[in-house]
């Protein structure tokens, strides 16, 4: 029965997190829209030339789907829109346009308007290639011949033979971007030689250099794949005609917000602008470092703070307690980054003492050392940063513990316990401790954001490659994909911390669970 109630509480708490999560997504979405103010306004006046900045603008536009409506898309447009645009502009309509018409062809041939558009496209091809002369007519004839043969099904059949039949690649190259949906399916969905062949076709067709080569290492391979995955996420609708179902849900999904939400839900934040690596991968490298730092310092802080808090509550008024209180108060007021710099000044080899390393997490040459050497080196590097992260929360937690303990000691049941003749130790440990731990436990979840925030500055000072360092670098380089990922992840982690602390609270204090039930 009790377990059932606990389960219900957990479920309820998790459900409560959903609107919060949604709010977080909305806020980060709004934040991101603060960011690329320049691509819309066109006010970017960097030292980079106009050509570079317009290209940057285009990539930022694509990154945030700025060409889509914000929340509601009245008429989601796929490939047709693009071909229509090309036809209307009357440019860029070389033979490349012909295969694109193939996608259109399936449906277009049956209506008079569709036939007219195809005729018009063929006219434009001839106009774009006056040098063809009579060959222009031949080109049109070729196109006329080739169009009906290349329905979507046939392209897919062709793409399924990628890697097995060398002539397929050339035939797909000729089809141009019309082959992309099938080619991208092969590139992202298959392995080995078919995938490599698909990457060759995709590179030729799109003009981006992204060929997978058999001799690539795992990292290079994943980077290339990530590039194509992200590219397809951004450009898919330019190359696919939407089905009727896609047209319906596209009203919601083909919007800036939905695309952003899609990134959050699938944790696909794109690729770092700086080195092209997928953001997820960079996060996976940085997160453990920060977690190590945070958990170490949090554990250390709790281990020291709880006894200190209890001691200063139970022995209040004694000289030692006064000293402890003053010291804790001073620690509480010390800015951690200043302390970090003072510690570097004192022990970092700047002045007299060169006791601790101040750079990174491992000495040069010892990154992959074995066993004890590795551990000792790690710990040696961790001393200063962990100390800086610990002392602040140590002060906070012990003050909370002290207040809570003082509160508990005044309760009637403690007096009762004393009156029963229990020793002071038994009273404190058995009766007072458990109840005084409550506020300190809730604090655990709330300490988490502080630790993450603190890690930015401490990791920067000590050059530790964690989340903080990643974020700082991302800020400096305006690496938007990393920034948005970090914003979401840190908020998620804090939310998890909050939920955990609520659960701990409920676990220790049955009243909460019962209250929930009422």
Nearer to another protein, 410 or 425 (CB): 410
Element at 386 (helix H, strand E) = helix 371-409
Sketch the per residue contact string, 451 through 490, with another protein: x for CB under 8 A, - otherwise: -xxx-xx--xx---------xx--xx-x----x--xx--x
> Does residue number 267 form part of the binding site for another protein (CB under 8 A)?
no
Query: For another protein, how many residues bind (rule: CB under 8 A)?
Result: 55
Q: At its nearest, how many Å lie between another protein and the CB of residue 32?
A: 8
Say how far residue 472 (Cα) sits from the centre of its chain: 15
Q: Which of 153, 307, 351, 423 binds another protein (CB under 8 A)?
A: 351
Sketch the per residue contact string, 31 through 50, with another protein: x for CB under 8 A, - otherwise: x--xx-xx------------
Q: Which of 140, 178, 301, 344 binds another protein (CB under 8 A)?
A: 344
Q: Which of 120, 171, 247, 316 binds another protein (CB under 8 A)?
A: 316
Q: Which of 14, 137, 327, 342 binds another protein (CB under 8 A)?
A: 342
Q: Phi and psi for 444 in degrees, rounded to 5?
A: -55, -45
Q: Which of 446, 463, 514, 516 binds another protein (CB under 8 A)?
A: 446
Helices and strands: H and E segment counts in the chain = 24, 0
Nearer to another protein, 81 or 492 (CB): 492
State the Cα–Cα distance between residues 29 and 488, nearest whole angstrom.
10
Give the three-state DSSP class for 210.
coil
Residue 348 DSSP symbol: B
> In 3D, which of 76, 69, 77, 35 has the Cα closest to residue 256?
69
- For residues 195 and 186, is the Cβ–Cβ distance under 8 A? yes
Q: Which of 338, 353, 355, 413 binds another protein (CB under 8 A)?
A: 338
> Does residue number 81 form part of the binding site for another protein (CB under 8 A)?
no
Q: At its nearest, how many Å lie between another protein and the CB of residue 94?
A: 40
- For residues 138 and 129, is the Cβ–Cβ distance under 8 A? no
- For residues 495 and 25, is the Cβ–Cβ distance under 8 A? no
B/e letters for 489-509, b = 16+ CB within 10 Å, e = fewer, are bbbebbbebbbebbbbbbeeb
Packed helices 152-160 and 166-175: angle between N→C axes, nearest 10 degrees: 150
> In 3D, which of 33, 53, 52 has the Cα closest to residue 43?
53
Q: Show contacts with another protein in window 273-312 (CB under 8 A).
A: none
Name beta bridge partners: 348.
354
Q: Given the rule CB under 8 A, which of 58-66, 86-94, 163-171, 401-409 is the region that contacts another protein?
A: 401-409
Residues that bind another protein (CB under 8 A): 16, 19-20, 23-24, 27, 31, 34-35, 37-38, 316-317, 329-330, 332-335, 337-338, 341-342, 344-345, 348, 350-351, 403, 406-407, 446, 448-450, 452-454, 456-457, 460-461, 471-472, 475-476, 478, 483, 486-487, 490-491, 494-495, 498
């Amino acid at each position: 029965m009790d377990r059932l109630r606990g389960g219900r509480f957990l479920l309820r708490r998790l459900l409560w997190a959903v609107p919060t999560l949604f709010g977080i997504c909305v806020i980060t979405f709004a934040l991101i829209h603060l960011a690329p103010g320049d691509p819309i306004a066109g006010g970017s006046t960097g030292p980079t030339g106009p050509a570079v900045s317009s290209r940057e603008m285009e990539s930022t536009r694509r990154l945030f789907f700025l060409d889509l409506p914000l929340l509601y898309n009245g008429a989601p447009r796929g490939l047709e829109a693009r071909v229509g645009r090309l036809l209307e502009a009357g440019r860029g309509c070389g033979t490349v346009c012909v295969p694109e018409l193939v996608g259109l062809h399936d449906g277009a041939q049956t209506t008079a308007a569709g036939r007219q558009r195809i005729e018009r496209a063929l006219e434009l091809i001839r106009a774009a290639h006056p040098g063809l002369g009579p060959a222009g007519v031949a080109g049109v004839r070729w196109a006329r011949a080739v169009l009906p043969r290349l329905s979507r099904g046939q392209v897919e059949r062709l793409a399924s033979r990628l890697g097995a039949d060398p002539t397929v690649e050339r035939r797909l190259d000729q089809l141009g971007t019309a082959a992309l949906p099938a080619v991208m399916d092969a590139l992202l969905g298959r392995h080995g030689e078919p995938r490599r062949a698909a990457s060759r076709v995709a590179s030729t067709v799109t003009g981006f250099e992204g060929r997978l080569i058999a001799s690539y290492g795992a990292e290079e391979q994943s980077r290339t794949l990530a590039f194509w995955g992200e590219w397809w996420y951004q450009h898919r609708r330019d190359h696919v005609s939407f089905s009727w179902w896609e047209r319906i849900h596209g009203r919601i999904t083909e919007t800036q917000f939905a695309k952003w939400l899609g990134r959050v839900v699938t944790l696909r934040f794109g690729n770092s602008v700086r080195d092209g690596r997928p953001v997820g991968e960079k996060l996976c490298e940085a997160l453990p470092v920060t977690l190590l730092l945070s958990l170490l310092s949090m554990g250390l802080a709790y281990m020291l703070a709880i006894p200190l808090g209890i001691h200063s509550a139970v022995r209040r008024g004694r000289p030692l307690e006064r000293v402890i209180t003053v010291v804790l108060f001073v620690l509480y007021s010390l800015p951690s980054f200043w302390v970090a710099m003072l510690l570097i000044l004192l022990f970092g080899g700047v002045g007299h003492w060169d006791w601790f390393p101040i750079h990174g997490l491992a000495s040069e040459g010892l990154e992959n050392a074995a066993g004890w050497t590795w551990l000792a080196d790690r710990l040696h590097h961790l001393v200063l940063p962990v100390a800086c992260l610990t002392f602040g929360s140590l002060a906070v937690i012990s003050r909370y513990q002290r207040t809570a303990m003082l509160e508990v000691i005044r309760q009637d049941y403690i007096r009762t316990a004393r009156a029963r003749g229990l020793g002071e130790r038994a009273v404190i440990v058995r009766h007072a401790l458990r109840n005084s731990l409550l506020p300190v436990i809730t604090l655990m979840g709330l300490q988490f954001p502080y630790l993450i925030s603190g890690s930015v500055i401490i990791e920067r000072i000590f050059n530790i490659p964690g989340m903080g360092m990643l974020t700082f670098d991302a800020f400096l380089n305006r690496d938007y994909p990393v920034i948005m990922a970090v914003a979401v992840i840190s908020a998620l982690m804090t939310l998890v911390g909050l939920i955990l602390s609520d659960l701990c609270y409920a676990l220790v204090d049955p009243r909460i669970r019962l209250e929930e039930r009422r």
